[in-house]
Amino acid sequence: MRRLLSLLFLLALLIGVILPALYFYFASGLPDLSTRSAVTAALAPRVQAAREASKATGRRQDSPPFQVSRRANLPKALVIGLLAIEACPDYLEAPPLADLDRFKLVLARAAQARVPAGPGRCRLRFADMVTEALGVIEPVTAAISDAKLLASLEPDDLLTFRLAATFYSSSIIGAFDASRFLFGKDLEKLTLAQAAELLAAESYWQQFVDCTNPPRLTRLRDDVLDRMKAFGGIDEAELKRAKLVPVSCSSR
């Protein structure tokens, strides 16, 4: 009986003292992530610093302010394409994450385990991309950051922050920045073909900038369009029309 009481005491100590102490230790270096505006305020100086550094070294001429759009202001094609390449077309229709489900996702993140496909995986991935943009690398601290973002941001906001925090190069950060660089226009004005090209450029940025092998770049963009069609985001006619458009660098 005494041994059982001792074990219960140790368990209570672990839950009530040690775990909270560890949580606060790992979370102490994180910025305020409790609201959308707080996350924006945390990201803005990091992105601006990178842009200013690139301007100082001559890699870019301007340093526009960091911005995060609302989903309603984004082109529908870009949202459809993003969810297609992330393989979670039902992301926006999925119910809110329950506390237990969110805990399981964050636990998997901390353990660096594979997360099953689905809306939850995409929400975790979007939160993780924002965490990475904040410069958080240590796995446990990153998991805590992800948990805070999942709790404070709606799915729409996670999606828009993911776009705003996407790393293309040391001088181009965020889809808003990349759109101006590739197409000379704001993100909100992209066509279907341009939205697909921008998404393809996430993994092949320098090739799109240098216009390395335009036929291959066209195939990469068309792969995104095919995924959009496969997930029901666009119809056959839209697919064919978009594929007829040359990639942007062909006209530069």
Cβ of 206: how many Cβ atoms within 10 Å?
Answer: 10
Place of tokens 């219960």: 8
- Number of CB atoms found within 10 A of residue 110's CB: 17
The encoded tokens of residue 76 equal 């529908």
Q: What is the pLDDT of residue 103?
A: 77
Highest mean pLDDT among 86-100, 116-130, 203-217, 238-252: 203-217
Q: Residue 137 has which token pair? A: 């690398």
Q: Identify whether the C-beta of residue 177 lies closer than 8 Å to the C-beta of residue 64.
A: yes
42-76 pLDDT, tens digit per residue, is: 999 998 888 888 777 767 777 778 889 899 999 99
Distance CA 163, CA 207 (A): 20
Output the pLDDT for position 17. Answer: 47
**pLDDT reading at 12 higher than 60:** no
pTM reported for the whole predicted model: 0.85
Burial-class residue 80 by CB neighbours within 10 Å (0-12, 13-18, 19+).
Answer: buried
Rounded to 5°, the CA angle 229-235-237 comes to: 120
Read off the pLDDT of residues 205-249 as tens digits, 9 standing for 90 and up.
999 999 989 999 999 999 999 999 999 999 999 999 999 999 998
Residue 112, pLDDT above cutoff 80: no
Q: Are 150 and 105 in contact (CB under 8 A)?
A: yes
Residue 9 has pLDDT above 80, yes or no: no
Phi, psi of 193 (to 5 degrees): -65, -40
Q: Which has the higher per-residue pLDDT, 20 or 47?
A: 47
Q: What is the pLDDT of residue 239?
A: 97
- Helices and strands (DSSP H and E) totals, the chain: 13, 0
pLDDT digits (tens, 9 = 90+) for 154-213: 999 999 999 999 999 888 999 999 999 999 999 999 999 999 999 999 999 999 999 989
Whether residue 187 contacts residue 175, with contact meaning beta carbons closer than 8 Å, is answered with yes
Which of the four pLDDT bands, split at 50, 70 and 90, describes residue 131?
very high
Across residues 6-28, what is the average pLDDT?
52
